[in-house]
Amino acid sequence: MRERITFVQKEGDSIEPTALKVDGNGLKGPEVKAVREDRLTFALDELPAELKALLEGVNQLHVRWVSPVAYEAVSPLLARLPPGFHLFYTPGSDASINPCPLLTKAFGLDSCSSPSDSFTTLPTDRFTHSTTHQFYQPLPSLKAFAHFARSLLCPPGSPSSCSSRLGSLTAASQLDLSYDTISHTLRLTSLWPYSPQSLSASLLSPTIRTEIGILSQTSPKTLEPHEIGISGLLTVLGQSTTPSPTLFSFPSRHRDSSSSFQAHFLPPTGLHPTLQLSISSPSPPAKSPTEETCRLHGYFTLPKTLFPDRHQLNDPLFLSSKNLTAVRYITPGIDLEAPEYVTSTWGSALLLELAPPHSSSGKEWTAEIPLHLRYLPPSLTGYQKAEVPYPALFWACTAEEGTKFPGNPFEKDRVGYDGLFGERTVFWHLNPSPADGKLVNTVKVPVLNLEKADWVGTVTGAVVVAGFAWVVIKLLGVVVMGGKKVGEDKKKKQ
């Protein structure tokens, strides 16, 4: 087991080594504004039996959790996903292994029953670096996971810092769990938003090798256009008491486009709500060395309460009226009719290319995504809520021929959309900036009002029976009158 703790300040901010106190148990320093990332790496043998047994049976398992509370990200930790619990999964040779029970226990999920029921399949023919299955559900907090992690990592006798550090997971804005058979290690990465905090780090356990970095982005002149530079201080607890300065650079897939956006539903939402994206600028990121190849995309994970209709999103005229270009990916096999309560798969993923207006002025503009609600179960008020996460918006730019993206120390992959693009794609993210600070929109869904439903069965039955009886009486009338007529005819003849 080993740990890496990183504080990332904004470009230009730095800290003097003398301001830091380092000893075998931890690091103490002044309060600064920074992002904090903690990364724990486990070998399989270091994991509890239940988790080890599961991971040994899978090929790839990647959990990506994002907080619904808007947060500020700092380069190079810029990768974004829609808020909620994402799972990207490739089963091992034994396809009957079910990760759902353990994940449900660990995260407090409520809609993960088994890969065959709950997961959707991803295209693996496009690019080799994607997993075969996807699962998502809205999950507002890491409370359940913090509890689970404490029971796992802080056995009786651990220092109190163990418990308090894992408790602080509830304030994290991102959490990643990554396992694949090649590395044979499980990585737990948590990220706290850019905020004032004291530079302090304590050991989870005395046996763990802990590396601490206080870094910020830098732009030396020698940098290649697709690279970013990092400078700062590094130290390993227990090995040295003075942090050593460092400077390195690497190509990064996730960059900041310096634009922002908001998403909200256009009223009235009805049963066919339209999600409107308000985007601050129509221009591609000026910093991209290959600006002309950039295309603006939106990646949506839509819970099963609503869905996009890929047939509706097929018509160029309709799409351009919504400032959309085309659907680049949509989960196949979405049922367009079934109510939510009989749908077992989690929902659908949608990758849309947007069509920014051509004007060179950097004016705010909008794009609209038409969606369709499923029928939800009846309620006592006549309404239900459907929560729809913000999409991830980014300019996808193709880097120059021959550009390689070797593993970078802050690389975040398996984020859903990266598997839908080529290896040389750079994602320039737009910053979601909701007015209310929440990365989730709520739609009020009209449903059947159970309060008024007591008599529905009885009255419907009575009305149908009455209608039936009326028609039968009229038929009998025809029979009787017909008989009379025949009689009359006979009389006349006689």
Partner 1 sequence: MTKPSGTGQPEPPATSSSGASSLVTTFFDRPLPLYLSAAIFRLVFLLYGLWQDANSPVKYTDIDYLVFTDAARFVSQGQSPYERETYRYTPVLAWLLLPTAHVTGNRILDVAFFSFGKVLFAISDLVAGWLLEKVLAKSMDAPRARKFATIWLLNPMVATISTRGSSEGLLGVLVMALLWAVLERRVTLAGLLLGFSVHFKIYPFIYAPAIVWWMDNERMSPNKTKPTSLSSKPPFLTAKILNFITPPRLQLALISLTTFSTLNIAMYLIYGTPFLQETYLHHVTRLDHRHNFSPYNTQLYLSSSLPLSSSSSFRIEKLAFLPQLLLSTVFIPLVTAKKSLPTSMLAQTFAFVTFNKVCTSQYFLWYMVLLPLYLPQSSFVKNKKFGLAALVLWVVAQGAWLQQGFELEFLGNSTYLPGLWLASLAFFGVNCWILGVIIGDMR
By CB under 8 A, name the binding residues for partner 1. 268-272, 311, 315, 317-318, 321-322, 333, 335-339, 341-342, 375, 377-378, 382-383, 444-449, 452-453, 456-457, 459-461, 463-468, 470-475, 477-479, 481-482, 485
User: Which residues, in sequence order, are bridge partners of residue 30?
Assistant: none
Q: Indicate the residue among 195 and 318 with the shorter CB distance to partner 1.
A: 318
CB of 326 to partner 1, least distance (A): 15
Residues 371, 375, 377, 379: is their CA dihedral positive or negative?
positive
* Sequence-distant (≥ 6) Cβ neighbours of residue 451 within 8 angstroms: 380, 381, 382
In angstroms, the Cα distances linking 123 to 59, 120, 131, 132, 238 are 16, 10, 8, 7, 47
Residues 133 and 121 sit within 8 Å (Cβ to Cβ): yes
CB of 455 to partner 1, least distance (A): 9
Look at phi and psi of residue 12 and say left if phi exceeds 0, alpha if psi is from -120 to 50, else beta. Answer: left
Alpha-carbon span 389 to 408, nearest angstrom = 29
H/E stretch holding 234 reads: strand 227-236
User: Which residues, in sequence order, are bridge partners of residue 431?
Assistant: 260
Alpha-carbon span 417 to 81, nearest angstrom = 9
Q: Indicate the residue among 225 and 482 with the shorter CB distance to partner 1.
A: 482
In angstroms, the Cα distances linking 132 to 60, 163, 413 are 9, 36, 15
Q: Indicate the residue among 102 and 338 with the shorter CB distance to partner 1.
A: 338
Q: Indicate the residue among 32 and 327 with the shorter CB distance to partner 1.
A: 327
Reference 270, options 380, 350, 138, 370; nearest CA is 370
Q: For 299-332, b where at least 16 C-beta lie within 10 A, e where not — what string?
A: bbbbbbbbbbebeebeeeeebeebbbbebbbbbe
Residues 93 and 120 sit within 8 Å (Cβ to Cβ): no
CB of 110 to partner 1, least distance (A): 16
Reference 61, options 144, 189, 181, 191; nearest CA is 181
Q: Indicate the residue among 95 and 471 with the shorter CB distance to partner 1.
A: 471
Radius of gyration of the chain from Cα atoms? 29
Q: Provide the 3-class DSSP secondary structure of residue 382.
A: coil
CB of 450 to partner 1, least distance (A): 8
Task: For strands 84-91 and 31-43, give the pairing.
Answer: unpaired
CB of 475 to partner 1, least distance (A): 5
Q: Indicate the residue among 84 and 273 with the shorter CB distance to partner 1.
A: 273
Q: Indicate the residue among 223 and 470 with the shorter CB distance to partner 1.
A: 470
Tokens of 201: 């780090």
Q: Indicate the residue among 240 and 449 with the shorter CB distance to partner 1.
A: 449
- 292 DSSP 8-state letter: G
Asked if residue 268 has a cis previous peptide bond (ω within 30° of 0), the answer is yes
In angstroms, the Cα distances linking 185 to 52, 57, 188, 369 are 10, 13, 10, 40
The DSSP secondary structure of 93-133, one letter per residue, reads S-TT---HHHHHHHHT-SS---HHHH-EE---SS-TTS-SE
CB of 342 to partner 1, least distance (A): 7
Q: Indicate the residue among 21 and 318 with the shorter CB distance to partner 1.
A: 318
Q: Which class for 419: exposed (0-12), middle (13-18), buried (19 or more C-beta within 10 A)?
A: buried
CB of 162 to partner 1, least distance (A): 43
Q: Indicate the residue among 57 and 446 with the shorter CB distance to partner 1.
A: 446
Q: Indicate the residue among 151 and 314 with the shorter CB distance to partner 1.
A: 314
Q: Indicate the residue among 435 and 473 with the shorter CB distance to partner 1.
A: 473
